[in-house]
């Protein structure tokens, strides 16, 4: 190595060392800041840290013992047996009957169901095709609660836009009687899915006869993604469906190049009266005050009618009730009750959770201590995100630090992966949701691809170990997790 090259090498290494040192200082300062903001007693800190061996026991039993692979095997049996489980369908209700019987057979306690009304939407025949400037098939999936087209379908000229603002700037005369195609750029799930949720309403306001919306996904192989949509009060209800990313972009290009684009659309979709479904409940009852300060573990049992709901949200539901089962079989019974709730009607808007909250509202401050949910996949866990006041956060951080054996100590706030429990978290109850390596979650979300091949047995084991460990510690502590409830 030449002298100049050697000096350059030394310089680069020195810079890297300084950068690493600087990063460590930043991390230490962040940790010091968090520690300074917390005023937990030394006794409470030592009490929490005393659960280290319990976490090791739970982790070893699930990852290396007789429970290894059980979640994946049970979920596979369930999805093979029932397939998709859309709210209002026989398959969902039969799957709930099955789960109630299974939970009783597994020896869980206080197993029962609680009723909730859910929407009943029927997906009928759906087809779309490009008529001009050439003929081609367009893959579609109608959006939940969408109305259908008149019998025989419709043919309409297309207006294509990227954003709501672009549509609003167009004169009504340019949109009236046409099909609006939305091709928003992927900006994360929430922002992109807003077009799915409100696209039909915005198009209808301008006089459109239908709305076709780019699927809410960052990656596509020609698969449309379904989901729910809502008509605003007072607007004329028009058919709404998702199309693939590829087709949305192609149609937008054609339109912007001045081509006359026409689409034929036929949808035999319709809404029936709401029906009764059920949340499915099971428990590991606490040794003290079993009906007070309950810790909730949850996921939703319903799915869309494409795929089999393995990822959304079979995995989340199964790690929740399996955590309760595994703790019971390990003889780990905490002071407070740990309750698994498998929600119904989540995909249409948290119908099961909202009804559960309504029926438990009278004594909810006394009944509920902490909520945990998984609804963004059950891939390798990296930690938990959290919503709650500062004192609750300080306690929760200490608990989360014990999850090092699972490499799952990452903390984020607020909780982002618990739509059902947001019914409580938004009102001041503390809670958390699973943080996992879900970078490909929206590749399969609400598509035919949501099947068992996206689930990994070892990842499911780590997720259930995280849920079981966290729930046990919080349920067994000498103190409740603080809350500030807003009505």
Residues labelled as active-site residues: 346
d(CA 113, CA 98): 12
- Residue 314 phi/psi, 5-degree rounding, is -55, -45
Alpha helices per DSSP H over 235-384: 245-256, 315-329, 351-359, 364-367
Burial label for 63, CB within 10 Å (0-12, 13-18, 19+), is: middle
CA–CA distance from 354 to each of 115, 117, 152, 292 (Å)?
A: 11, 10, 39, 20
- The secondary structure of 401-419 as a DSSP string is HTTGGGT--EEESS--S-T
CB 473 within 8 Å of CB 323: no
Closest Cα partner for 295 from 394, 367, 401, 387?
A: 367
Closest Cα partner for 400 from 412, 408, 392?
A: 408
Radius of gyration of the chain (CA): 25
Q: Which residue has the tokens 């039909």?
A: 200
**Quick check: helix, strand or coil at residue 269?**
coil
d(CA 424, CA 301): 19
**Side-chain-facing half-sphere of 361: CA atoms under 13 Å:** 10
First vs last C-alpha separation in the chain: 72
**Quick check: helix, strand or coil at residue 128?**
strand
d(CA 435, CA 378): 9
CB 386 within 8 Å of CB 414: yes
Q: Which residue has the tokens 């109630």?
A: 100
d(CA 420, CA 373): 8
Q: Which residue has the tokens 């609680």?
A: 114
Percent helix, strand, coil in the chain, to 5, is 40, 20, 35
* Other CB atoms within 10 A of residue 262 CB: 16
d(CA 449, CA 168): 35
């Amino acid at each position: 190595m030449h002298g100049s090259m050697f000096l350059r090498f030394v310089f680069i290494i020195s810079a890297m060392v300084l950068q690493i040192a600087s990063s460590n200082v930043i991390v230490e300062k962040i940790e010091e800041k968090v520690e300074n903001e917390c005023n937990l007693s030394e006794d409470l800190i030592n009490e929490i840290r005393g659960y280290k061996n319990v976490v090791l026991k739970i982790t070893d039993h699930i990852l290396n013992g007789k429970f290894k692979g059980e979640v994946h095997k049970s979920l596979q049996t369930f999805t093979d047996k029932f397939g998709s489980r859309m709210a209002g369908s026989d398959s969902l209700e039969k799957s709930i009957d099955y789960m109630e019987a299974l939970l009783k057979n597994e020896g869980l306690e206080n197993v029962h169901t609680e009723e909730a009304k859910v929407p009943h939407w029927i997906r009928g025949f759906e087809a779309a095709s490009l008529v001009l400037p050439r003929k081609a098939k367009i893959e579609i999936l109608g959006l939940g609660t969408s109305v259908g087209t008149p019998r025989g379908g419709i043919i309409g000229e297309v207006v294509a836009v990227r954003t709501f603002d672009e549509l609003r700037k167009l004169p009504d005369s340019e949109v009236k009687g046409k099909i609006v195609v939305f091709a928003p750029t992927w900006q994360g799930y929430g922002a992109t899915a807003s077009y799915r949720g409100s696209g039909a309403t915005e198009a209808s306001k301008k006089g459109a006869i239908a709305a076709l919306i780019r699927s809410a996904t960052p990656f596509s192989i020609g698969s449309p993604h379904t989901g729910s949509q809502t008509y605003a009060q007072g607007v004329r209800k028009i058919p709404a469906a998702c199309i693939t990313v590829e087709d949305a972009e192609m149609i937008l290009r054609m339109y912007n190049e001045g081509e006359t684009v026409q689409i034929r659309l036929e949808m035999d979709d319709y809404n029936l009266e709401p029906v009764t479904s059920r949340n499915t409940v099971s428990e590991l009852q606490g040794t003290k005050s079993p009906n007070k300060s309950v810790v909730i573990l949850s996921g939703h049992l319903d799915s869309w009618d494409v795929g089999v709901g393995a990822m959304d949200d079979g995995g989340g539901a199964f790690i929740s009730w399996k955590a309760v089962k595994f703790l019971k079989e390990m003889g780990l019974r905490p002071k407070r009750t740990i309750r698994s709730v498998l929600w119904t009607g989540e995909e249409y808007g948290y119908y099961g959770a909202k009804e559960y909250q309504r029926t438990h509202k009278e004594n909810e401050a006394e009944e509920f201590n902490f909520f945990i949910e998984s609804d963004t996949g059950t891939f390798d866990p990296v930690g938990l995100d959290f919503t709650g006041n500062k004192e609750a956060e300080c306690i929760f951080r200490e608990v989360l630090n014990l999850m090092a054996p699972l490499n799952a100590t990452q903390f984020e706030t607020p909780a982002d992966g618990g739509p059902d429990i947001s019914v409580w978290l938004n009102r001041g109850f503390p809670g958390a949701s699973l943080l996992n390596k879900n970078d490909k979650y929206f590749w399969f979300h609400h598509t035919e691809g949501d099947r068992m091949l996206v689930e990994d047995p070892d990842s499911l084991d780590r997720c259930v170990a995280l849920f079981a460990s966290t729930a046990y510690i919080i349920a067994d502590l000498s103190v409740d997790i603080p809350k500030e409830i807003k009505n």
